[in-house]
Amino acid sequence: MLTLVTGATGEVGRRFVPRLLRRTTVRTGDAVRILVRDEERAAPFAALGAEVAVGDLRDGAGVRRALEGADAVVNIAAAFRWVPDEEAWEVNRDAALALGRAALDAGALRFVQVSTNLAYGEGRGRPLVEDDATVPGGALWGAYPAAKAEASAGLLALHREHGLDVRIGSLSFVYGEGDPHLEQSLMWAKDWAAHKRLQMVHHADVAQGLMRLLYAPGAAGRMYNIADDAPVSAAELHQLNGVPLPGGASERDDPDPWHGMVSNLRIREELGFRPLYPSVWTARDAGAL
């Protein structure tokens, strides 16, 4: 199976692709191709055995060339944080849907789309499950989660109407292995109530979850939350970063205590997912932050 991966040089992609390449070495006939805009940044992956296709996800002709002979797609590419809303919509919705249509035309057998738990929007007073509809809103709502939600809906429509084997992995807040996200979390957590929680997932478990989606039989048309087992509080985020909790945090209220909290039961029961790092504290103890 030849798998095309987009977003290989991003925080998630550059940790996922080497793991996928290691797996292909023990699967006869498997190969990995990555679509990148900058060939120089792809050199480390090429050294590990990846094929390199140079192009922009928003360039239809380049995407079609990259899909030639591909059996599967893992679409990790994303535009978020500090990008104009127009770019967020172009990359996260428009380019993702165009990639899905091009994959269908190219005869790809499987399409794994990476989404975000922010696409659920408002909390529901319980852990969010994959069948919950999007309810726009919440402190972190914006073009990025809105575009991801529409991309997922459009890709699932391609599955229902045209038979594209779509699987969607919805990621919680990703961290670990030197990713700056843990430090960046304080951009929001500094203004939160001390007890407000953030559900996270380590890069090792992102990779585990995406590979389960990629290789599992019978997962077509399904969405899976990829998350750890123990959300972490704002007070703990400050502790993990070695920063004092801001004054007044303990007196603040959390207006939506279930915002972003998800259940990982479906991926556990259907695909056998078990977090290698059930909590950020497990990762800390293992030296994997």
Secondary structure of 66-119 as H, E, C letters: HHCCCCEEEECCCCCCCCCHHHHHHHHHHHHHHHHHHHHHHCCCEEEEEEEHHH
Give residue 26's pLDDT.
67
239, exposed or middle or buried, with CB in 10 Å at 0-12, 13-18, 19+? middle
Q: How confident is the model at residue 14 (pLDDT cuts 50, 70, 90)?
A: very high
Domain definitions of the chain by residue range = 2-175+201-227+262-276
What fold is seen in the domain 2-175+201-227+262-276? Rossmann fold (3.40.50)
Q: Give the pLDDT confidence of 19-57 residue by residue, as tens digits.
A: 999 988 767 789 999 999 999 999 999 999 999 999 999
Q: Which residues pair with 72 in a beta bridge?
A: 3, 110
Give residue 81's pLDDT.
81
Which tokens in the block code for residue 231?
Answer: 């959300």
**CA angle at 145 for the pair 112 and 151, rounded to the nearest 5°:** 40
pTM: 0.96
Give residue 139's pLDDT.
83
CB 256 within 8 A of CB 137: no
Give residue 232's pLDDT.
98
Q: How far apart are CA 73 and CA 253, in angstroms?
A: 43
